[in-house]
Amino acid sequence: MSELPSYFVQLYERLPRQGPGAHSCTARALALTGMDPGPLRALDVGCGSGASTLSLARLGVGHVTALDLHAGFIEQLTRRVVDAGLEGRVSAERGDMTRLAERFEPESFDLVWSEGAIYFLGFDDGLRALARLLRPAGCVAVTHVSWLVPDPPTECRAFWAEEYPAIASVETNCAIVQAAGLELLGHFTLPRAAWIDDYYGPLAELVAAERERGGLGDTEHAVLSMIEREAALFERFGGCFGYEFYVIRKPATDV
């Protein structure tokens, strides 16, 4: 998995979360698993600075191992864990999510979580990789950008053809779950507030402050322009695409 531009990472380290989401959405997805959280051993893949990790711990999950490639995110999460008094309940580790099989034994976890990061693996390959880490009857929950309408506008399609060509409809992704031999327990679309309150809102303020600060090079201007373009696209076409939360169970026998 390749490193993101350092300026991009530095910006995103200053955000409450690194993608769309909300504590209420994490709670809803956890409830869909039907599992008693107390005894669960969970893995949060691509955790960023730990918004979903902390939500899972606060919702009563017994222990959460949080994994991200970027040291700055892991350092920030470690501080947040201490501030929240959750030492012993959360382990923050630096690691590459494309090499999970090398790091963790099969069937190591009861619950595998990944909000906004499975696109690094691809939805199909990612689900299979995460499911291998689950004990039988364990659950995986992911958010993934998905088409919400059958015929998105041309401009919207062109953006995603460049940014993530594998984007597919919710229906297609549900079929991928079934083809992988997994059971879809439920799915729901993240509300607009999950994009704005702790993500695009703080991100817009951060971009404006960077523009005002000045002294930026070509790379910095390119990163800020990319962020502004994506936010503007969501403002115009947010009803055409979104993050869908997929909650999935591994069968009692191996996938």
Q: Give percent helix, percent strand, percent coil of the chain, each to the nearest 5.
A: 45, 20, 30
pLDDT at 216: 85
5 falls within a domain: no
pLDDT at 4: 59
Cα distance between residue 20 and residue 2, in whole Å: 22
pLDDT at 2: 44
pLDDT tens profile 50-74: 999 999 999 999 999 999 999 999 9
102 falls within a domain: yes
pLDDT at 97: 95
Residues 62, 89 contacting (CB under 8 angstroms):
yes
pLDDT at 254: 55
List the chain residues with pLDDT less than 70.
1-4, 254-255
Interstrand relation of 183-189 and 241-249 (parallel, antiparallel or unpaired) = antiparallel
Number of domains the chain contains: 1
Residue span of the structural domain in which 36 resides: 20-147+165-191+241-249
Task: Kindly state the helix (H) or strand (E) to which residue 102 belongs, with its residue range.
Answer: helix 100-103
Q: Is 43 left (phi over 0), alpha (psi -120 to 50) or beta?
A: beta
Query: pTM value?
Result: 0.94
pLDDT tens profile 134-162: 999 999 999 999 999 999 999 999 999 99
Q: Mind giving me the DSSP string for 227-243?
A: HHHHHHHHHHHTTTEEE
Query: Residue 77: which CATH number?
Result: 3.40.50.150
Residues 120, 4 contacting (CB under 8 angstroms):
no
187 falls within a domain: yes
pLDDT at 130: 97
